[in-house]
Amino acid sequence: MTMVLTPLEDEDSGLRSLSETAAGDLLRGFRKRELWGRLGWLDVKRRYRRTTIGPFWTSITLAFYVLTVGTVGAAIWHQNIYDYLPFLVSGMIVWTLVSSIILESCSLFIAGQSLFRNIRFDYSVLAYALVWRNFLVLLHNFAVYFLVVVVLKPSLLSFTALLAVPGLALVLVNAVWVSLLFGMFCLRFRDVPPLVASVMQIAMLITPLFWPADTLTGIRRFVFIDLNPLYHVVDIVRAPLIGQMPDPISYGVMIAMTIGGWWLTYEMFRRFRKRIAYWS
Amino acid sequence: MATVILENVNAHFPIYGAQQRSLRKALFQRATGGSIEREGKNNDRVTVKALTDISLTLHDGDRVGLVGHNGAGKSTLLKLMAGIYEPVSGTIKVEGRVTPLFDAMPGLDSEDSGYENILTSGMLIGMTRRQIEAKIPEIEEFCELGEYLSLPVRTYSTGMTMRLGFALVTAMDPGVLLMDEGFGTGDLRFAERAEARMKEFVGRSRIMVLASHSDRTIRSMCNKAVMMEAGRIVASGPVNEICDRYYESVHAAAEADRQVKQSGMAALSGYSASNAAGKEQIDAEGRIENVGLVDRLSRSNGSARMTRVAAQDANGNARWDFVPGETATFRFEYKILERVDNAVILFRLNFMTPGGGEVIFAERREVLSSEPLEAGYEGVLELSLQVPDLMPNQYLPYIWLGRTSNAGAYDVVDVNIGLPAFVVRPSAEQEPRSGIMSLAFEARKSGTLAQDILTKVDAL
């Protein structure tokens, strides 16, 4: 990745060009932690304004889902409920995070138009806010995981579980480029958001969330698991949460995705950043 | 020190979806006036050249008015200076903080409280939390919202929201101030304080650029002006010189427009004989029987015809400009060309918004007859109005003659055919203020069945 670092000038010093570089946008945007932190947090808060338990509503929905689907699923897949529920809940937590980031990134710039068409804006702020917002929701959902695990299998709360943290960090780093790239793409080509929505619906069924990855063998396993990036995304966070080591391949894929994804996004952002306001 | 330098700046808007039905819509919204070009293999990419080769240098103390028609590129130029759009080519360099006033409260959310919104908008504008918190007492004091600031903004009236936005924006350090016209301010008493604060705010700015259609605003607030046409700067210099020039060009354009319409008319057989191009203008009497029929018949079925639209004062002198307090009488004469079941006249005064839209300012609906009217009927409707303290402005008349059900026009006339605008001039004693009022028209109707019957022409 060739990132040319230009010094970030202060607003008030000397004659400066109004055009912003892609790197400048990404860095300056990131430095506005106060702003994207606030935008992300307010979004969470607004959704549940005037409710009593607020964002925990998503957690409660998740808990219901896991309990009911989990009971049925344990029977279908002939699983022990003490293993199956923690597996399902940790998978669903990560899936909720990943799928809502992907779906929301489709409307990142479409919904943000009113902002950047009226004021000068670092576009990356919107992406950081999106990821931050979903991270906050994730934290609420973790309550369900703890509840399930403490009741059913407290032994899972070990040092292995801590491996979920670097995994999650990798996921979030990737989430930023996904938001930016999908955001730009969907702003320009308005056919993409519905397409992404239907792909995600199918992806939920073919990614091993409800059934263990080992159910599949041979060519099927290769196609739906090894070649499925979403599996690796889920795996590096889920595996530690159910007391397993993530597949080394998953780490490899994630690191490759981080580098490749950021390189692609940076190139696209560098070339088309200027056009975002015009596309809207 | 503040400086703004633009060098050979170009801005083109690609228009997507132009092949579908939205072409018209897209063009009207985005750039009436900019030149439209088609690019790509099959001419399938439509681009509007919003700005072409703009070079401009502004220094400390410059108060610049941008004048030009709707779509001349004024707002686009402001948005480029604000860094919202980046030019396709050319450079823009700026020294000093840039404050665009296009949206007083960006990111406004009606569910959040006033305080929360101050913080969000302030951060979006580029202040830090600490800077905003330091300004909060000043904002509280100026917007006079008191306890309301802790309530969600959805509980505010429009005026209150505007006050909040105004108080927030004017609390900042303006630097280079960019304004698109129509930065409004709530209710009456607030308007006075707002004006004083606005003056002080503009006074604090190093450079101000203002786009406005109001000649008076530009002349009173600016010391320089830039005239734009179809995305280019056609003239710049001292404010009075440019404004005069712009005024002349507007008149010339209106004249040219009228002539084009007339020559279009000449092609219409049956009407061209007695109304050769050039003759067909609205005379001092306001006779419009045969004026602009192409336009009129494309919007109506032609069952009746407006024959005269005139305005006069209390002494019977024909004129269209008034100062508040005078009595204006609008006289509408019409003929029925084909038996109609009923008839109504809808009289509107509209005005243009900064965005180029037309807003209905006042409307009077007068039923001429709920009984059928025979062909040959000639009628008169007079609407009198004691002109209240209206904002000095041009109000564009629009007259719709049609069915009482409002579904089907017999004739429509407005400025398109060259009707003059109803002009309200500032009166000496009138203080500027704002508020809502209704216009109390008084109506008189009469009519006779005439012998001389015009033949009806089918709608175009």
Q: What is the ipTM of this complex?
A: 0.83
What pLDDT band is residue B366 in, cutting at 50, 70 and 90? confident
A247 within 8 A of A231, measured Cβ to Cβ: no
B252 within a domain of the structure (yes/no): no
Residue B86 has its nearest CB partner, among A11, A19, A188, at A19
A63 within a domain of the structure (yes/no): yes
B440 within a domain of the structure (yes/no): yes
Say if residue B174 is in the same domain as residue B123: yes
Query: What is the length of chain B?
Result: 460
pLDDT at B317: 85
What is the Cα–Cα distance from B157 to B163, expressed in whole angstroms? 10
Between the CA of residue B430 and those of B76, B196, B388, what are the distances in Å?
35, 17, 11
Contact B84 A49 (CB under 8 A): no
Say if residue B220 is in the same domain as residue B73: yes
Q: How far is B355 from chain A (nearest CA, A)?
A: 14
Residue A120 has its nearest CB partner, among B16, B83, B116, at B83
At B299, phi and psi to the nearest 5?
-115, 0
Tokens of B213: 């259609």
What pLDDT band is residue B25 in, cutting at 50, 70 and 90? very low
B457 within 8 A of B270, measured Cβ to Cβ: yes
**How many CB pairs (< 8 A) connect A and B?**
90
CATH number at residue B89: 3.40.50.300
B234 within a domain of the structure (yes/no): yes
Mean pLDDT (chain A) is 88
**Distance between first and last Cα of chain A:** 28
What pLDDT band is residue B433 in, cutting at 50, 70 and 90? low
Contact A19 B13 (CB under 8 A): no
What is the Cα–Cα distance from A212 to B442, expressed in whole angstroms? 82
Q: Which of B270, B258, B267, B309 lies closest to B412 in space, CA to CA?
A: B309
Say if residue B74 is in the same domain as residue B166: yes
HEC string for chain B:
CCEEEEEEEEEEEEECCCCCCCHHHHHHHHHCCCEEEEECCCCCEEEEEEEEEEEEEEECCCEEEEEECCCCCHHHHHHHHCCCCCCCEEEEEEECCEEEECCCCCCCCCCCEHHHHHHHHHHHHCCCHHHHHHHHHHHHHHHCCHHHHHCEHHHCCHHHHHHHHHHHHHCCCCCEEEEECCCCCCCHHHHHHHHHHHHHHHHHCCEEEEECCCHHHHHHHCCEEEEEECCEEEEEEEHHHHHHHHHHHHHHHHHHHHHHHHHHHHCCCCCCCCCCCCCCCCCCCCECCCCCHHHHHHHCCCCEEEEEEEEECCCCCECCEECCCCEEEEEEEEEECCCECCEEEEEEEEEECCCCCEEEEEEEEEEEECCCECCCEEEEEEEEEECCCCCCEEEEEEEEEECCCCCCEEEEEEHHHCCCCEEECCCCCCCCCCCCCCCCEEEEEEEEECCCCCCCCCCC
Instruction: Find the mean pLDDT for residues B414-428.
Output: 80
Q: How far is B97 from chain A (nearest CA, A)?
A: 6
Range A106-141 burial, b when 16+ CB lie within 10 A, else e: bebbeebeebbbbbbbbbbbbbbbbbbbbbbbbebb
Q: How far is A142 from chain B (nearest CA, A)?
A: 27
Say if residue B205 is in the same domain as residue B297: no
B260 within a domain of the structure (yes/no): no
What is the Cα–Cα distance from B180 to B209, expressed in whole angstroms? 8
pLDDT at B359: 74
What is the Cα–Cα distance from B393 to B353, expressed in whole angstroms? 12
Query: Domain range spanning residue B80?
Result: 3-245
What pLDDT band is residue B365 in, cutting at 50, 70 and 90? confident
What pLDDT band is residue B276 in, cutting at 50, 70 and 90? very low
A159 within a domain of the structure (yes/no): yes
What pLDDT band is residue A182 in, cutting at 50, 70 and 90? very high
Give long-range contacts, CB 8 A cutoff, 24+ apart: A251-257.
Answer: A253/A229, A254/A167, A254/A170, A254/A171, A254/A174, A255/A170, A257/A174, A257/A229, A257/A232
Cross-sheet strand order for the sheet of B45-59: A15-17, B89-95, B3-15, B45-59, B35-39
A6 within a domain of the structure (yes/no): no
Instruction: Find the mean pLDDT for residues A183-205.
Output: 91
Tokens of A233: 């995304």
pLDDT at B182: 59
Q: How far is B106 from chain A (nearest CA, A)?
A: 6
Tell me the residue type at B60. Answer: D
- Count: domains in chain B: 2
Contact B85 A115 (CB under 8 A): no
Percent of chain B at pLDDT above 70? Answer: 79
A15 within a domain of the structure (yes/no): no
B38 within a domain of the structure (yes/no): yes
CATH number at residue B341: 2.70.50.60
Tokens of B69: 């028609």
Query: pLDDT tens for residues B28-37?
Result: 544 445 566 6
pLDDT at B109: 87
Range from B116-120, B265-269, B336-340 that averages highest in pLDDT: B116-120
Query: pLDDT tens for residues B93-131?
Result: 988 888 888 877 888 888 889 999 999 999 988 888 898
A44 within a domain of the structure (yes/no): yes
| pTM (predicted TM-score) | 0.68
pLDDT at B60 over 80: yes
Tokens of B127: 């202040």
Percent of chain B at pLDDT above 90? Answer: 14
A65 within a domain of the structure (yes/no): yes
A273 within 8 A of A22, measured Cβ to Cβ: yes
Residue A120 has its nearest CB partner, among B14, B84, B119, at B84
Query: pLDDT tens for residues A208-265?
Result: 998 888 888 888 888 888 899 999 999 999 999 999 999 899 999 999 999 999 999 9
A38 contact residues in B (CB cutoff 8 A): 119-120, 123
B255 within a domain of the structure (yes/no): no
What is the Cα–Cα distance from A129 to A121, expressed in whole angstroms? 13
What pLDDT band is residue B189 in, cutting at 50, 70 and 90? low
Tell me the residue type at A202. Answer: I
- Count: domains in chain A: 1
Say if residue B90 is in the same domain as residue B209: yes
Percent of chain A at pLDDT above 90? Answer: 56
Task: Give the residue from B245, B260, B292 where a domain finishes.
Answer: B245
pLDDT at B432: 59
Between the CA of residue B47 and those of B27, B30, B52, what are the distances in Å?
10, 11, 13
Pick from A5-9, A32-36, A108-112, B81-85: least confident: A5-9
What is the Cα–Cα distance from B214 to B218, expressed in whole angstroms? 6
Mean pLDDT (chain B) is 78
Tell me if chain B has a CB within 8 Å of the CB of A10.
no
Residue A38 has its nearest CB partner, among B16, B81, B123, at B123
Q: How far is A177 from chain B (nearest CA, A)?
A: 22
Tokens of B450: 């005439």
pLDDT at A132: 96
pLDDT at A8 over 50: no
B267 within a domain of the structure (yes/no): no
Tell me if chain A has a CB within 8 Å of the CB of B131.
no
A275 within a domain of the structure (yes/no): yes
Say if residue B38 is in the same domain as residue B151: yes
A205 within a domain of the structure (yes/no): yes
B106 within a domain of the structure (yes/no): yes
Select the more confidently predicted residue: B278 or A190. Answer: A190
pLDDT at B265 over 50: no
pLDDT at B300: 81
Query: Domain range spanning residue A90?
Result: 22-279
